[in-house]
Amino acid sequence: MISSENLNKPDKPASDAAIAPSYSQEDVQQILHLALARQEQSGEMTRAQLLEIASDLGITPDALQAAEKEWIARQGEFQQRQVFDTYRRNQLKQHLVRYSIVNSFLVLLNLASTHDLSWSLYILLAWGLGLSLQAWKTYQTEGEEYDRAFQRWRVKQQLGQSFTTLVNKWIKPQ
């Protein structure tokens, strides 16, 4: 690693200049990422600039195109995961509203009929336990179970889209 004092001394002997530092691929990526982040631009680059940078780094256009396709696929999956997380949170909110309405009614019914909380308290606590477990599951966004739930949701969405497309083609013949 290069020390900051070596970088600030332009009049170093030739023997020190001959020793070139070496960086791991991860170090190079981090350095380039920081340099790009510090670069004073509008925050966006054109595809031509991306190709030029890749060319300067010795990255072939084919490798860049493959990386770009992979990045687009990852972005698509990231967006789908955000939609999935929003869907799960909305489902939880719906269950919370149902829980509140039904249990408020049951507690009032229990109070009106027996003038104390007896049987409604058991329902309130049991349902609340289930709801709290669902909430924990909803906000757990990593792990195998989350990935399985996401894949199930994704397949369900794809089947729904396929079915809708099929029905639309059948209803509206071309």
Q: Which residue has the tokens 């190709």?
A: 51
Q: What is the pLDDT along the chain (174 residues), one digit of tens a residue?
A: 444 444 444 444 444 455 767 888 888 777 777 777 766 655 677 888 788 888 888 888 888 888 888 888 889 889 999 999 999 999 999 999 999 999 999 999 999 999 999 999 999 999 999 999 999 999 998 999 999 999 999 999 999 888 888 888 888 765
Q: What is the per-residue pLDDT for 20?
A: 67
What the block records as the tokens of 74 is 């990852």
Predicted TM-score (pTM) of the model is 0.62
What the block records as the tokens of 103 is 């249990």
Q: What is the per-residue pLDDT for 2?
A: 45
Q: What is the per-residue pLDDT for 58?
A: 83
Q: What is the per-residue pLDDT for 1?
A: 44
Least Cα distance to 49 among 153, 41, 107, 127 occurs for 41
Backbone angles phi, psi at 89, to 5 degrees: -65, -40
Q: CB under 8 Å to 80, separation ≥6 — which residues?
A: 150, 154
Q: What is the per-residue pLDDT for 92?
A: 97
String of DSSP letters for 53-85: HHHHTT--HHHHHHHHHHHHHHHHHHHHHHHHH
Q: What is the per-residue pLDDT for 21?
A: 79
Burial code of 105-136, b = ≥16 C-beta within 10 A, e = fewer? ebeeebeeeeeeeeebeeebeebeeebeeeee
Q: Are 89 and 121 in contact (CB under 8 A)?
A: no
Q: Are 128 and 95 in contact (CB under 8 A)?
A: no
Largest CA distance in the chain: 96
